[in-house]
Amino acid sequence: MIKIWSMKKNEDQAAKKKPKTSAAEIRVQKDITELDLPSTMETKFENPTDLLNFTLYIRPDDGMYQGGTFEFSFQINANYPHEPPKVKCVKKIYHPNVDLEGNVCLNILREDWKPVLNLNAVMVGLQYLFLEPNADDPLNKEAAEELKRNREQFLHNVKTSMRGGSVKGERYDKVTTEK
């Protein structure tokens, strides 16, 4: 009988040492196992035990941003899925929906977020921004105006910026292997 009590005590101590899995971590685990990413997208976890912080790489195979590799950091707080993940573009890019600090204008990351949405929805939304930049809801107003006013010049600016060049005095990070 004493042996059973000591075994129970050891189990209780082991359970106390093991950190509890939060509701956010459980939901993120579920979201990650259900990811259905195309070959143009890839996730990377710097710390495999930390599912709440990771990087997404998007490599568009079509559209104006084809040939680039765009890196987004995801930070998920303890209130997920009641609050959206914090998503930032790591490199400085020329895009109507991404400002120079890397903030992303995607409606489901702000006012249209609902707990039924998941990480896959966010990732697909980000990919869509590279296929169809939205000049009507911009964070980079200059890029949006250029897209509306002169699509050819906008395309030239995108290509220049992706190679690490300057557009209107602003230098952008190189996101392509093209010279």
The total number of structural domains that make up the chain: 1
Q: Quick check: is 2 in a domain?
A: no
Cα–Cα distance, 72 to 90 (Å, whole number): 6
DSSP bridge partners of 88: 73, 103
- Does residue 145 form part of some domain? yes
Which range marks the domain in which residue 156 is found? 19-171
- List the one residue out of 133, 172, 137 whose CA is nearest residue 151: 133
Whole-structure pTM over 0.85, yes or no? yes
What digits encode the pLDDT tens for the residues 121-159?
999 999 999 999 999 989 999 999 999 999 999 999 999
**Active-site amino acid positions:** 105
CATH of the domain at 86: 3.10.110.10
| Within a domain: 50 | yes
pLDDT tens across 41-60, in order?
A: 999 999 999 999 999 999 99
DSSP secondary structure, 69-101, as one string: -EEEEEE--TTTTTSPPEEEESS---BTTB-TT
Distance CA 54, CA 31 (A): 13
In a domain, 6, yes or no: no
